[in-house]
Every structure is written in C-alpha cells, then in structure tokens.
Amino acid sequence: MPNLDEELQDRSDQDFQDVAQQPEVDEEEQQEEQRRMEAMANYQQQQRRQNQAQQSVQGAVNTVQTAQKWYKRYQKTVVVLQFLGATFPVWGTILLALFVIMGFVGGCNGSTEFRIASLGACEPFIVGTGGQSGGAGQTTTIPSGLLSVIPQQYVKPSAFGPAKFDYPKLNPNFANIVNQIMSQAQSQGLNVLVTSALRQPGGPEGYSCHYLGEAVDIDFQPAIPIGANQTPANAALIDKLLTIVRAAGPGFVQDEYRRPSRGATAGHVHLGLTSDPNCTGRQSEVAQYSGEYTMPY
C-alpha cells in the first residue's frame, strides 16, 4: 500500500508541474508569432518602398521620353520656320498677289463669271453671238464689269479724249472680239483703226450701245467717204473688212459706208456685242461706267 500511495503522489506532482509549465509554452508561441508578424510587416514595407522607387524611376523615364518628343517637334518646327524664312521672297510675293486679286475679284453665281468687288453685285446682261448684220444670234449671260482698254496701236488718237466724249474702252468680252478683228485686218494689209468705242453721256450723240462699251466703229486710214456708189477698189476693201468682222462673230454688224445709219457723220463699219443694235431698255446700266471716262494712255 505504501508504494501505491507514493505512485499516486508522484503522478499528482507531475500533473501539477505540467499544468504549471503550460503558460510558459503559450507565451513563447505568442512571442514567436509576434516576431513573424513583425518580419512580415517589415517585408511588406520593403516591398512598398521598392514599388515606390520603381514608380519614381518609371515616372522619370516617362518625363525624359516626353521631353525628347517635344524636343524633336521643336527641331522640326525650327527647320520649317527656317525654310519659310529662306523662301519668303518667293511665297510671300505669291501670297500677296493672291490677296490683292481676291480683294478685287469675286465669284458670281459659282461659275467662271467674274466681277470687280468695287462694282458691287454682278449684273448680268445678254451677249449675242450672231455673225450677220441684224441677226438674232445665240445669247448667253455674262456679268458686267470693269471695261478693257483697246490696245493703243488699234485706235485713232485724235478720235478719243474728254473733248470727244469718247474713250478707247470696251466690255471685256467684246474687246476680245475687236482685238481679234483688228489683228486680222492689219495682218491682211488693211489700214484700219477704231474711231469710236465707249461714249460718255453729254456728247452730241444720243443713247446707244456705245454708252455701255458694247459697240465700236472701225474706219480706214485714210478714210473712205460715205456713199452707196463706192469705187471698185474701195468696195473691195470694205467687203474684205466686213468678211473679217463677221468671221469674229459679233452680235451685230452694219456697213455704214454704203448703208449709213441716220445721223452718221463719216463712213465706218459699226459692230455691236449683242444682236440688239440699240441696247434697248438698258439705260440704267450706263451709270456703272461713270468711273471709266478717263484716257488710259
């Protein structure tokens, strides 16, 4: 029995020791866990610092790349500006000329018609293309505009000027026809000159297509007199001139050597731009040419 009691006592003492030592084991585990958590926190902090460092480096790289791109653009801009500066005498002159032209010439109705801006809106009128005296002719609409000057070699100087109320200017389309006629006539040996073109209101003559710059008189030098019975030589010259005139295609042609109009004071060939020899009903258009009554040479 004594042995049994001792054994029980020993076991009881051992259990007590185990229970007493248990808290010491739990505290060590807690300390170990805390060390692990601190180590993990330190690692995470190091990772964050590394990430921040990498982001800073990448940001610096991006900044450098952006600066390089802008520098390349700057270099290209400098090259372009240097080129423009070197070629300014060329393109600057062209640009200035275009601005001047655009300042004076405007489009009409989206077509190839033109007008001078100082004249205001385009005012169309009818152009005849018939080639026979008093013929109807096909008509087209063109705008009125600044008159063209007849080349000086085609005009008789003594027939023009303020004292004559007559000026060597014509509607641009009609001027092309007249210049063609004069060039053909002179090249074929006919000594002819223009003796009347744009007439100014106030002269001895009444209203006519001359007031619109759409009629012209051509006479031989020396002059061939009015008369139905011309000499064969003069008749041949007149017929030759009429052939050249009609071939150019004006709207109206009249032989005022042999069939002069009422009030004619000298023989000539009269031609007009349109088929209407009197430009009937267009008196209101005369005022737009008030600035044209000056001698161009």
**How many other CB atoms are there within 10 angstroms of residue 175's CB atom?**
21
Read off the pLDDT band of 116 (50, 70, 90).
Answer: very low
Cis peptide, bond prior to residue 222, ω within 30 of zero? yes
pLDDT of residue 123: 41
* Per-residue model confidence as pLDDT tens digits over 206-235: 889 999 999 999 999 999 999 989 999 999
What's the chain's average pLDDT? Answer: 79
Q: Would the pLDDT of 280 be above 80? A: yes
CB within 8 Å of 147: residues ≥ 6 apart: 169, 170, 171, 172, 175, 198, 213, 289, 292
Q: Are residues 129 and 3 in the same domain?
A: no
Contact 242, 252 (CB under 8 A): no
Read off the pLDDT band of 10 (50, 70, 90).
Answer: low
Q: Are residues 107 and 223 in the same domain?
A: no
Q: Are residues 25 and 151 in the same domain?
A: no
Q: Are residues 149 and 52 in the same domain?
A: no
Domain that includes residue 134, residue range: 124-292
pLDDT of residue 26: 67
* Per-residue model confidence as pLDDT tens digits over 62-109: 888 888 888 888 888 888 888 888 887 877 788 888 876 766 544 443
pTM above 0.85? Answer: no
* Per-residue model confidence as pLDDT tens digits over 183-193: 999 999 999 99
Distance CA 178, CA 192 (A): 12
Q: Are residues 145 and 41 in the same domain?
A: no
AA identity, residue 98:
L
The CATH number for 131's domain is 3.30.1380
Q: Which letter does DSSP use for residue 261 in this model?
A: P
Q: Which letter does DSSP use for residue 133 in this model?
A: T
Query: 108: burial class by Cβ within 10 Å (0-12, 13-18, 19+)?
Result: middle
Structure tokens at 284: 């209101």
Query: Residue 274: inside a domain, yes or no?
Result: yes
Contact 194, 180 (CB under 8 A): no
Percent of the chain with pLDDT over 70: 76
